[in-house]
Amino acid sequence: MSNDERAKLILKILNKIYPKTPVPLKHRNIFTLLVSVLLSAQCTDVNVNNVTKNIYAKYNRPEHFVKLGRKKIENLIRSIGIFRIKAKSIYNLSKTLMKKYNGRVPKTFKELEELPGVGHKTASVVMSQGFGFPAFPVDTHIHRLAQRWRLSNGKNVVQTEKDLKRLFPKKNWNKLHLQIIYYGREYCKARECYGLSCKICTTCYPARKKPIITKKA
């Protein structure tokens, strides 16, 4: 089975299991989506949602966080990992948005990636889930599964993104990256499937006997 054939099969399985793909991070607008994506680094979506549900009821625009200041932002997100670094990023990007973009989140990769604390993956999520622009954000689940399914060699997330974009039609990217994340959390878990037991692994590699060791992102 070629990589292209495998990609078509994977797409078929995922579309059947996940016909709908709600955005996992709860948000009120593009700005709060951006903040939630920043907060999700080294943290589960569930934890982020639990923390932000009370924050966004009061604070959901850049000017709100500028007025709060770093220390108050730290107190609001204290239960989230590396909260001091994240509070600094949220405060600084809020100031930048107010100064350069009149409080609005820019709609290009270049402008997003120039914001404090915003890397390519975060920008890709905002472009995809916020603006509907075709993008393929690669998180730890996607990086791991791309290796298990032999869709990428796992050298780094940049290479993984390129490989997946080449294999799958652009029209599927926004939905597919969420489908892979959901599937990885539910069926092809890091410490359970090991490339040997879930439907995609057994369908694509029925003769596989040894666990697949993946490289971290």
Residue 37 near residue 122 (C-beta atoms within 8 A): yes
The active-site residue out of 16, 95, 110, 139 is 139
For residue 42, the number of C-alpha atoms closer than 13 Å in the C-beta half-sphere is 7
Cβ contacts of 158 within 8 Å, gap of 6 or more: 120
Helix (H) or strand (E) holding 81: none
Is 8 a catalytic site residue?
no
Q: How large is the angle between the packed helices 173-186 and 3-17, nearest 10 degrees?
A: 80
On the CB side of 133, CA atoms within 13 Å amount to 12
Judge whether 139 counts as a catalytic residue. Answer: yes
Active site residue: 72, 121, 209, 216, which one?
A: 121
Known catalytic residues are 121, 139
